[in-house]
A and B are shown apart, each in its own frame.
Chain A
Amino acid sequence: QVKLVQSGVEVRKPGTSVKLSCKGSGYTFTDYHIHWVRQAPGQGLEWMGRINIKSGVPNYAQKFQGRVSLTRDTSVSTVYMELSGLKSDDVAVYYCAISVESPAVPSYDHWGQGTLVTVSP
Chain B
Amino acid sequence: EIVMTQSPGTLSVSPGEGATLSCRASQSINTNLAWFQQKPGQAPRLLIYGASTRASGIPARFSGSGSGTDFTLTISSLQSEDFALYYCQQYNNWPPITFGQGTRLEIK
Contact = CB atoms under 8 A, between A and B. Distances in A.
By DSSP majority rule, is chain B's interface helix, strand, loop, or mixed? loop
Interface residues on B, range: 20 to 34
Interface residues on A, range: 20 to 34
Interface string A94-121: 0101000110011111011110000000
Interface of A: 35, 44-47, 49, 59-63, 95, 97, 101-102, 105-109, 111-114
B46 A47 contact: no
Contacts of B102: 44
Contacts of B50: 102, 105, 107
B72 to A, nearest CB: 17
A6 to B, nearest CB: 10
B43 A59 contact: no
A45 B95 contact: no
B19 interface: no
